[in-house]
Amino acid sequence: MIGYTLVGSNDLDKAKAFYDALFETVGVKRLMEFPTGGCAWGAEWGKPMFGVGKPYDGQAATFGNGTMIALTVDERAKVDALHDKAVALGGQCEGKPGVRGEEGPRAFYAAYFRDLDGNKLCAFRVGPA
């Protein structure tokens, strides 16, 4: 149902470098470049994308308190890799990788982090180890 998400940045060059390196960890590349300087990443056209750009109103980009974007991956190792890479790139840990709830066929394995602008993201996988 979701086509794309977009977070704001006050330094697009740093944000692009952060997300290029982060998403490369799981084989995701830039798919779109916006005339305004932002861009979007995705696994392939027709699938949900994640974008970064400057706010349309020209004001400073801020993160929303309680706002979070969740990125689904197909392996727990990719959850770990995204979290580790985000922190290595200067992001902030908001919850180390692990099962939230009980282990089992519908286990929710997730990690939480913030990017360089303070936007909160979650990488997760649902299913057994």
CATH number at residue 83: 3.10.180.10
The predicted structure's pLDDT at residue 114: 97
Residue 44's domain comprises: 4-55+63-126
Q: How confident is the model at residue 89 (pLDDT cuts 50, 70, 90)?
A: very high
pLDDT tens for 38-79 read 999 999 999 999 999 999 999 999 988 889 999 999 999 999
What is each CA distance from 41 to 24, 65, 109, in whole angstroms? 10, 24, 23
When pLDDT is cut at 50, 70 and 90, the band that residue 21 belongs to is very high
Kindly indicate the confidence band of residue 2, based on its pLDDT and cuts at 50, 70 and 90. confident
pLDDT tens digits for range 96-117: 999 999 999 999 999 999 999 9
Confidence band of 118 (pLDDT split at 50, 70, 90): very high
pTM: 0.91
Measuring CA to CA, how many Å separate 119 from each of 4, 9, 54, 92, 123?
Answer: 15, 9, 13, 10, 13
Structural domains in the chain (count): 1
